[in-house]
Amino acid sequence: MYGAKASDMAIKKYSDKWLVDVYPNGRAGKRVRKTFSTKIEASRFEKFVLSAAHEGKEWNPGGRDTRSLSELILVWYKTKGSYLKDGPRRKKCLLDISEWLGNPRGSELTAKKFTEYLSYKTESGISEKTINNHLGYINAIYNYLESIGEISYPNPLAKIKPIKIDEKELSWLTIDQIKHLLKIIEDFSKNPHVLLLTKICLATGARWSEAEGLKLRHVRDGKVSFHGTKSGKSRSVPVSDELFQEIERHLREWGEFSFSLSAFRRALDQSGIQLPKGQAAHVLRHSFASHFMMNGGNILTLQKVLGHSSVMVTMRYSHLSFDYLSDAMKLNPMGKINDSK
C-alpha cells in the first residue's frame, strides 16, 4: 500500500481502543501513533497517513498551517466524510459555506465571521434547524481533524451556541380524519400506489420513503422489512393478514412502488385536513405513534418499531400514553376539589 512495507504499519487492539502505529516512510522516517474507538476509524486514519506519504506530504508538519478551509474540508471528506451516508451532500454544503466565507485559511476563521454567515442565512429565511446543521457540520470538521492530529489548533467556532429551537407541534390524524383521507384517495387519486402506501405508513409507522422502497422480497412471514432507513438500521414490523396479502398482491403485479408523494399531497389538500407548516406524509408516522401510545403501547416497543436510535426521540409521544392522560385528569388539584364536593 503506497510503497510502505507491511512491517512498517500496524493496527493493534490497545485496552478498549484501536492503536495505529505506523512508519509511513519506513523505519528510518517519522513514526505516527494514534488511538481510535473503532477499528474502522483506525483503518481510515492509517490509509490517510500512508496516502499522504505516497503523495510526498509530511504527516502533521510543523510551522504555520496555511491550508484553506476548503482544503481542510477535502481532507475531512477523504478520511471521514466519504464513509458517511450523506457524505457527498454534506461536502457540497461545506464547500458552499466556505465559498461564502471567502475560503479563508482554516486557522484564521473566526467566530465573528461565521456568526455573520449564520445571520445572513437567518435573514434569507433558512430554517433554524438548517442553520444549526451548518454550524454542526463545520464544528465536526475542526473537531475531527484536531482529534486525529491533522490540525494543531483548537476549533475556532467551539464557543458558538446553536439556536435553541422550540419543539415543533406534534400533529396526528384522528380516526375520522384517517377514514376521510383514505376515502378521498380511493375515490379521486389516479395514482395506483398512493392508497396502499398510506395504509402501510399508518399501520407500521414507516416514513413515506421507506414504504416506497419496499420490494416483494421485503414482505415475508406476516411482516414488512424496511432497509436503507434514516438510522441505517433495518427493521421489521408485523401487519394484519389482510394488509400483508394486499401488499404482496400489489408488488407481484407492479414489482415496486413508484414515487407517489405528490399524489398524497394532492389528496391531503383535497381532504381539507389542516396541518402545521412542513408536515405532509410524515403525519402518518406521527399518527401511528400517537395512536399506539394512546391505546396503551409501550414506549420501548414504539422506539424499536419506529427505528429511533435513542428512546429520548420517542419520548415526545409519551405524553399521549393512557396512564399519563388518566393521571393528569385524576391527580390535578381541580379534580381533588370536585371529589370533595
3-state secondary structure string across 82-112: HHCCCHHHHHHHHHHHHHHCCCCEHHHCCHH
Sort strands 32-36 and 223-226 into parallel, antiparallel or unpaired: unpaired
Angle 243-246-247 from CA coordinates, rounded to 5°: 90
- Which residue from 54, 17, 50, 51 is spatially nearest to 34, judged by alpha carbons? 17
Which of 266, 282, 304, 316 is labelled catalytic?
282
User: Would you say how long the chain is, in residues?
Assistant: 341
- State the Cα–Cα distance between residues 17 and 147, nearest whole angstrom: 14
Q: Please tell me the distance from the alpha carbon of residue 265 to that of residue 268, in angstroms, as a whole number.
A: 5
From the candidates 34, 235, 285, 286, give the one annotated as an active-site residue.
285
Q: Is 193 a catalytic residue?
A: no
Give the residue among 120, 75, 116, 67 at the shortest CA–CA distance from 94: 75
In the block, which residue shows the cell 384522528?
A: 174
Q: Which three cell numbers stand for residue 91?
A: 461536502
Whether 89 is catalytic: no
Which of 17, 54, 121, 230 is catalytic? The answer is 230
Catalytic residue chosen out of the listed positions 34, 193, 199, 308: 308
Residue 230 is a catalytic residue: yes
Half-sphere exposure of 273 (CA within 13 A, CB side): 25
Mention every residue, 6+ apart, whose C-beta is less than 8 A from residue 68.
98, 103, 104, 105, 106
Q: Which three cell numbers stand for residue 170?
A: 406534534
Interacting residues of 220 by C-beta distance below 8 A, sequence separation 6+: none
Does the annotation mark 207 as catalytic?
A: yes
Q: Which of 207, 250, 286, 291 is catalytic?
A: 207
Distance CA 128, CA 122 (A): 7
Name the grid cell of 261. 408523494
CB 149 within 8 A of CB 34: yes
Catalytic residues: 207, 230, 282, 285, 308, 317
